[in-house]
C-alpha cells in the first residue's frame, strides 16, 4: 500500500481481538513512530506496552482512579472502567516527556509525541492490524500517572489499543479538502 492510500484510508478500529502483532512486528510499528517530527531532536516520547495480565492490573488502576474522582460512581461505571483495558490484546501507552528547552516549547514536544502516536496508528494499519487511540480522564488522572510510574514532566498522550480488527470497519469519512483550506492573500 502506498503512503497516500494509507493516509487517506486510516481508520480507527474500536473492536479488536487477538491475534495481536508479535514482538518483532510490534517493534517495527514502534520503530516507525520514532520518525515523528521532532524539533531539536529531543525525542520527547516513550512507549509503555501493556499486555497479558498487566491489562487486568491497569483495569484495577482505572477503577481505583474512577472511585477517587467520582465517589458516587455506580458499580456499572466501575466495571466498565475495570474492563476497558481488555478491549484489545495490547495497549501502547504513549507518554510525552516534556522538558524545559530554550528553543522547543513544551507544546511542540507534546505535538511531537502526538505525531509519534499517529505513527503507531499508521504503521499498525500498514502491517495489517487494527488500532484505536483512546484518551479520556485516565490520561490526565494523577492517580493513574502515579500508578504507571510516570516521572515529573511526563504526560499521557493516549492509549493505543492494538489487535486484529473485528467486524466490518466503519466507512472512512468523506471530506472535501476545500472545506478545510483557505488562502491568505495579504
The pLDDT score that the predictor gives to residue 172 is: 87
Q: What is the pLDDT of residues 128-142, one digit of tens each?
A: 999 999 999 999 999
Residue 169 has pLDDT above 90, yes or no: no
The pLDDT score that the predictor gives to residue 13 is: 94
Q: What is the pLDDT of residues 144-162, one digit of tens each?
A: 999 999 999 999 999 999 9
509525541: which residue's cell? 113
DSSP character for 153? T
Q: What is the pLDDT of residues 92-115, one digit of tens each?
A: 999 999 999 999 999 999 999 999
Is the peptide bond between 38 and the residue preceding it cis, with omega within 30 degrees of 0?
Answer: no
Mean predicted confidence (pLDDT) in 55-81: 98
- How many CA atoms does the CB half-sphere of 97 hold within 13 Å? 12
Percent of the chain as helix, strand, coil, to the nearest 5: 45, 20, 35
The pLDDT score that the predictor gives to residue 148 is: 98
pLDDT band at 171 (very low <50, low <70, confident <90, very high): confident
Q: Is residue 44 within 8 Å of 99, Cβ to Cβ?
A: yes
Residue 30 has pLDDT above 90, yes or no: yes
Task: Give whole-number Cα distances, 28 to 34, 112, 124, 127, in Å.
Answer: 10, 19, 9, 9
Q: Is residue 132 within 8 Å of 16, Cβ to Cβ?
A: yes
The contacts of residue 104 (CB under 8 Å, 6+ apart) are 39, 40, 42
Residue 71 has pLDDT above 90, yes or no: yes
Rounded Cα–Cα distance for residues 74 and 80 (Å) = 10
Mean predicted confidence (pLDDT) in 33-45: 96
Q: Flag the least confident range among 5-9, 40-44, 66-70.
A: 5-9
Residues in the chain: 186
The reported pTM is 0.95
The pLDDT score that the predictor gives to residue 170 is: 84
Rounded Cα–Cα distance for residues 112 and 110 (Å) = 5
Domains of the chain and any CATH numbers: 13-167 (3.40.109.10)
Rounded Cα–Cα distance for residues 100 and 153 (Å) = 9
Residue 173 has pLDDT above 90, yes or no: no
Amino acid at each position: 500500500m502506498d503512503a497516500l492510500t494509507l493516509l487517506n484510508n486510516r481508520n480507527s478500529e474500536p473492536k479488536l481481538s487477538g491475534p495481536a502483532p508479535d514482538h518483532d512486528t510490534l517493534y517495527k510499528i514502534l520503530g516507525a513512530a520514532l520518525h515523528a517530527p521532532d524539533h531539536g531532536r529531543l525525542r520527547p516520547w516513550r512507549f509503555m506496552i501493556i499486555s497479558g495480565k498487566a491489562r487486568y492490573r491497569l483495569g484495577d488502576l482505572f477503577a481505583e482512579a474512577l472511585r477517587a474522582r467520582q465517589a458516587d460512581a455506580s458499580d456499572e461505571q466501575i466495571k466498565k472502567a475495570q474492563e476497558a483495558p481488555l478491549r484489545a490484546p495490547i495497549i501502547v501507552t504513549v507518554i510525552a516527556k516534556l522538558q524545559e528547552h530554550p528553543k522547543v516549547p513544551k507544546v511542540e514536544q507534546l505535538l511531537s509525541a502526538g505525531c509519534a502516536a499517529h505513527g503507531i496508528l499508521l504503521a499498525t494499519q500498514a502491517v495489517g492490524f487494527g488500532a484505536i487511540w483512546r484518551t479520556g480522564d485516565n490520561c490526565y488522572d494523577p492517580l493513574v500517572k502515579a500508578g504507571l510510574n510516570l516521572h515529573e514532566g511526563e504526560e499521557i498522550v493516549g492509549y493505543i489499543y492494538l489487535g486484529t480488527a473485528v467486524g466490518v470497519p466503519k466507512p472512512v469519512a468523506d471530506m472535501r479538502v476545500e472545506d478545510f483550506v483557505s488562502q491568505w492573500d495579504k
